[in-house]
């Protein structure tokens, strides 16, 4: 290894040179799959850079290759407004639809079938969309698509993805779009690890990639080896690029990983050949695809074709049909999920499907079973949802012999034998209604610790699972009986981590009364109903002794919800849990939380519609803290409707009812005015 240069200017030059070299070798190794140095030589370059950055911290950089290992715990993801709308694509599901699409484009352009209209066919990667912005060749921002206008800043997590360059091969300002995905091998490895840890498995690589990118622990993201393909160059005129084919090559030259299976085609027959080829090859690829994207090649023609409200007219996605097989249902068992959902699972005569032997398949829910009249003993069609989870599509009724049996809804929970039913009329799922069902315990405590409840940071699903399995947590009240000695014995939980968690648990005791009610996990009581209860009742004792009649007098609480609340508080286990919470000093009354806070928006009802500059939940939470009621439905009782970009039908209804509209600046002005009046009185 080279000795450190003493001259500070030489140090700076050496650091910059090392970064360029390492990024170049990352490009050769991860993008081109053509390394030109050995692993040892690469490791020595990286080690030298790490040592230099430690010795000379003034030369640290957010885009240094040393940032790829992930070393930050993020508090949250910030919202990002995109400088252009990130459209989604229209889908086609047959060759006839693609043929009609080609004819439609030619009609619009008034060109014949033998003209020089070109398309680019690209594999449709089954991942999640990402926008990257580079300034002077350095990664400045990575943002998710979100709703197309507002996404989330995931830059720190994206830095861990080796195929996304931190420094480009040219020092240009550029915006690109692409797809982040999880390769099949990594997906299998990750699920294997989760299975060993008795954690829920990811349904498919797309869900695994999305879940990984939204991890707050960047170290965990780095461990999961996400990958990328970049497919779109924004503002191509700034780079003197005139076609999609040129854009793919230009982005490749900059150092991005571009899918080299793309092809330039000139007519429907060439498109069809491309589709047929990759429909057959899809299972042999190392990454998930669910179709092909067709784009008009020429950017000038793209501009003339323009966009619909949701999609570009110059592109369409052809989705591959799912592979299906026939087999017989031999039996059905019921699984109870972490939220108490009862899921019927079909046991099948073993059959080969998409390269694996399938013995069980999801039936989703009992409404799904009833709608399709699926029975035990039926010959059924089975396919893999998202290429991973087998599901029963429909029975072949013509092959019934009269011995098939209906699939009945259980009269009680198969785990705890408690009551089952729907939480409300809109609920599709049949659930175990016993809050103390062992199958629900982990999910219940996770809900208790979640941000909208007690907000205990550090008490995540992995730790909850370990504490439940060891019998340390039997209900949420036990959270407040944890100590350093107990936590330090948990795998990967040292004394420092234990103390940090206990600090968070102590802080949570000051949660507002309505958040405590929400955290209890009362069946049929969500965040909104918990808030109504927190406003109506003075303390937990008063709520615990409330009758159904008293509860039904609260606007927004009906007979079923009232009955569920009374039943929950009548259980001896509930009373024991509440005694634990009170004994440990958890806020169980309004005195210490809600009474002294100013409520300038008290009794005002708001509805939100359209895309705002901040996440809707954030705005809703602030309004609620100020005393407002936020609903999803416009009615004559609504006082204000907050309007963002692309508002929906709620605005039309509000205008018809003469309800006052507010944009974000007007909302702030209203809050300020009412707060001033509140202080004066």
More confident residue, 658 or 599: 658
What 3-state DSSP class applies to 457? coil
What distance in Å separates the CA atoms of residue 343 and residue 590, rounded to the nearest whole number? 39
Q: Look up residue 385 and give its two tokens.
A: 């949802």
Mean of all residue pLDDT scores within the chain = 85
Is 124 an annotated catalytic residue?
yes
Q: What percent of the chain has pLDDT over 90?
A: 39
Residue 416 lies in a domain: no
What 3-state DSSP class applies to 393? strand
Residues in the chain: 681
In this structure, the answer to whether residues 49 and 109 fall within a common structural domain is no
In this structure, the answer to whether residues 525 and 611 fall within a common structural domain is no
Question: Which is catalytic among the residues 13, 124, 426, 620?
Answer: 124
* Arithmetic mean of pLDDT, 315-320: 91
- Residue 198: pLDDT above 80? no
* Arithmetic mean of pLDDT, 212-223: 85
Residue 415 lies in a domain: no
Q: In what order do the strands lie in the sheet with 263-265?
A: 91-92, 315-319, 289-296, 119-125, 263-265
What distance in Å separates the CA atoms of residue 92 and residue 36, rounded to the nearest whole number? 43
- Residue 39: pLDDT above 70? no
Domain boundary among 60, 80, 100: 60
Residue 223 lies in a domain: yes
β-bridge mates for residue 79, sequence order = 152
What is the reported pLDDT for 355?
61
Domain boundary among 319, 348, 363: 319
What is the reported pLDDT for 4?
47
In this structure, the answer to whether residues 340 and 298 fall within a common structural domain is no
* Arithmetic mean of pLDDT, 475-492: 90
In this structure, the answer to whether residues 303 and 180 fall within a common structural domain is yes
Q: Domain holding 630: CATH number?
A: 3.40.50.10190
In this structure, the answer to whether residues 470 and 553 fall within a common structural domain is yes
Q: Domain holding 16: CATH number?
A: 1.10.287.610
In this structure, the answer to whether residues 339 and 311 fall within a common structural domain is no
- Residue 75: pLDDT above 70? no
What is the reported pLDDT for 681?
54
Residue with tokens 């003209």: 115
pLDDT band at 199 (very low <50, low <70, confident <90, very high): low
In this structure, the answer to whether residues 153 and 17 fall within a common structural domain is no
- Residue 76: pLDDT above 70? no
Residue 423 lies in a domain: no
CA angle 157, 163, 165 (to 5 degrees): 80
How many alpha carbons lie under 13 Å from residue 466 in its C-beta half-sphere? 15
Q: What percent of the chain has pLDDT over 70?
A: 91
Is this model's pTM higher than 0.75 or not?
Answer: no
Q: Domain holding 480: CATH number?
A: 1.10.150.20
Contact 644, 607 (CB under 8 A): no
Across 100-109, 269-278, 672-681, least confident range:
672-681
Residue with tokens 């965040």: 527
pLDDT, tens only, 109-157: 887 555 678 999 999 998 999 999 999 999 999 999 887 888 889 999 9
In this structure, the answer to whether residues 345 and 310 fall within a common structural domain is no
What is the reported pLDDT for 113?
55
Instruction: State the total domains in the chain.
Output: 5
Residue 593 lies in a domain: no
Residue 661 lies in a domain: yes
More confident residue, 461 or 371: 371
- Residue 33: pLDDT above 70? no
pLDDT band at 386 (very low <50, low <70, confident <90, very high): very low
Across 199-208, 557-566, 598-607, least confident range:
199-208
DSSP string, 159-188: TT-TTS-SB-SS---EEEEEEEE--HHHHH
In this structure, the answer to whether residues 151 and 291 fall within a common structural domain is yes
Domain of 299, in residue numbers: 91-319
Residue 70 lies in a domain: no
What is the reported pLDDT for 69?
59
- Residue 387: pLDDT above 60? no
Domain boundary among 286, 302, 319: 319
In this structure, the answer to whether residues 347 and 291 fall within a common structural domain is no
Residue 249 lies in a domain: yes
pLDDT, tens only, 235-249: 999 999 999 999 999
CA angle 326, 327, 333 (to 5 degrees): 135
Out of 373-377, 438-442, 667-671, the most confident range is: 373-377
CA-to-CA separations, 405 to 102, 330, 392, 399, 408, in angstroms, rounded: 49, 10, 16, 14, 9
* Helices and strands counted in the chain (H then E): 24, 24
What distance in Å separates the CA atoms of residue 144 and residue 151, rounded to the nearest whole number? 5
In this structure, the answer to whether residues 638 and 666 fall within a common structural domain is yes
* Arithmetic mean of pLDDT, 362-374: 90
In this structure, the answer to whether residues 517 and 565 fall within a common structural domain is yes
Q: Domain holding 152: CATH number?
A: 3.30.470.30
What is the reported pLDDT for 560?
84
* Arithmetic mean of pLDDT, 527-549: 89
Q: Domain holding 339: CATH number?
A: 2.40.50.140
């Amino acid at each position: 290894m080279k000795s450190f240069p003493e001259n500070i200017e030489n140090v700076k030059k050496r650091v910059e040179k090392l970064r360029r070299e390492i990024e170049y070798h990352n490009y050769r190794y991860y993008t081109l799959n053509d390394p030109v140095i050995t692993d040892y030589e690469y490791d020595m370059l990286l080690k030298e850079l790490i040592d230099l950055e430690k010795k000379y911290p003034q030369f640290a950089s957010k885009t240094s290759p040393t940032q790829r290992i992930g070393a930050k715990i993020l508090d949250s993801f910030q919202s990002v407004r995109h400088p252009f709308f990130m459209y989604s694509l229209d889908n086609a599901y047959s060759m006839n639809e693609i043929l009609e699409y080609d004819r439609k484009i030619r009609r619009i352009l008034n060109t014949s079938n033998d003209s020089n209209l070109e398309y680019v066919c690209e594999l449709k990667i089954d991942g999640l969309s990402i926008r990257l912005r580079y300034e002077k060749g350095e990664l400045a921002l990575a943002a998710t698509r979100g709703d197309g206008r507002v996404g989330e800043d995931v830059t720190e997590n994206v830095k861990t993805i080796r195929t996304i360059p931190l420094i480009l091969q040219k020092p240009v300002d550029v915006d690109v779009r692409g797809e982040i995905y999880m390769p099949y091998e990594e997906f299998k490895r990750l699920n294997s690890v989760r299975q060993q840890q008795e954690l829920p498995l990811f349904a498919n690589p797309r869900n695994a990639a999305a879940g990984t990118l939204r991890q707050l622990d960047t170290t965990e993201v780095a461990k999961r080896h996400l990958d990328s393909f970049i497919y779109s160059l924004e503002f191509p005129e700034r780079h003197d690029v005139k076609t999609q084919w040129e854009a793919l090559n230009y982005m490749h030259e900059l150092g991005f990983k571009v899918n080299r299976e793309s092809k330039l085609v000139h007519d429907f027959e060439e498109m069809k050949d491309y589709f047929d080829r990759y429909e057959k090859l899809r299972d042999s690829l190392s990454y998930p695809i669910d179709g092909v994207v067709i784009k008009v090649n020429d950017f000038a023609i793209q501009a003339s074709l323009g966009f619909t409200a949701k999609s570009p007219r110059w592109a369409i996605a052809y989705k591959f049909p799912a592979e299906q097989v026939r087999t017989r249902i031999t039996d059905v068992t019921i699984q109870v999920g972490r939220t108490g959902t009862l899921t019927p699972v079909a046991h099948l005569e073993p059959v080969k499907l998409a390269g694996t032997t399938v013995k069980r398949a999801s039936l989703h829910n009992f409404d799904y079973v009833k709608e399709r009249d699926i029975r035990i003993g039926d010959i059924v069609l089975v396919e893999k949802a998202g290429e991973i989870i087998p599901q029963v599509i429909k029975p072949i009724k013509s092959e019934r012999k009269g011995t098939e049996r209906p699939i009945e809804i259980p009269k009680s929970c198969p785990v705890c034998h408690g009551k089952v039913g729907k939480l409300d009329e809109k609920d599709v799922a049949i659930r175990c209604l016993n809050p103390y069902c062992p199958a629900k315990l982990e999910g219940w405590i996770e809900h208790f610790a979640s941000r909208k409840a007690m907000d205990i940071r550090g008490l995540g699903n992995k730790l909850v699972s370990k504490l439940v399995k060891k019998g340390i947590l039997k209900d949420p009240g036990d959270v407040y009986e944890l100590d350093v000695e107990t936590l330090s014995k948990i795998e990967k939980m040292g004394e420092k981590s234990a103390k940090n968690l206990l600090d968070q648990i102590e802080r949570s005791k000051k949660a507002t009364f309505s958040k405590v009610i929400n955290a209890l996990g009362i069946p049929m009581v969500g965040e909104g109903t918990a808030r109504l209860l927190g406003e109506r009742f003075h303390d937990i004792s008063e709520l615990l002794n409330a009758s159904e009649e008293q509860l039904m007098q609260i606007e927004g609480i009906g007979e079923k919800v009232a009955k569920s609340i009374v039943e929950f508080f009548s259980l001896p286990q509930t009373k024991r849990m509440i005694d634990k919470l009170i004994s440990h000093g958890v806020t169980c009354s309004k005195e210490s939380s809600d009474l002294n806070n100013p409520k300038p928006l008290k009794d005002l009802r708001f509805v939100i519609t359209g895309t705002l500059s901040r996440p809707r939940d954030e705005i809703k939470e602030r309004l609620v803290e100020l005393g407002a009621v936020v609903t999803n439905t416009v009615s004559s009782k609504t006082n204000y409707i907050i309007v963002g970009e692309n508002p929906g039908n709620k605005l039309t209804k509000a205008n018809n009812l003469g309800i006052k509209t507010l944009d974000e600046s007007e909302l702030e002005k209203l809050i300020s005015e009412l707060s001033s009046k509140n202080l004066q009185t």
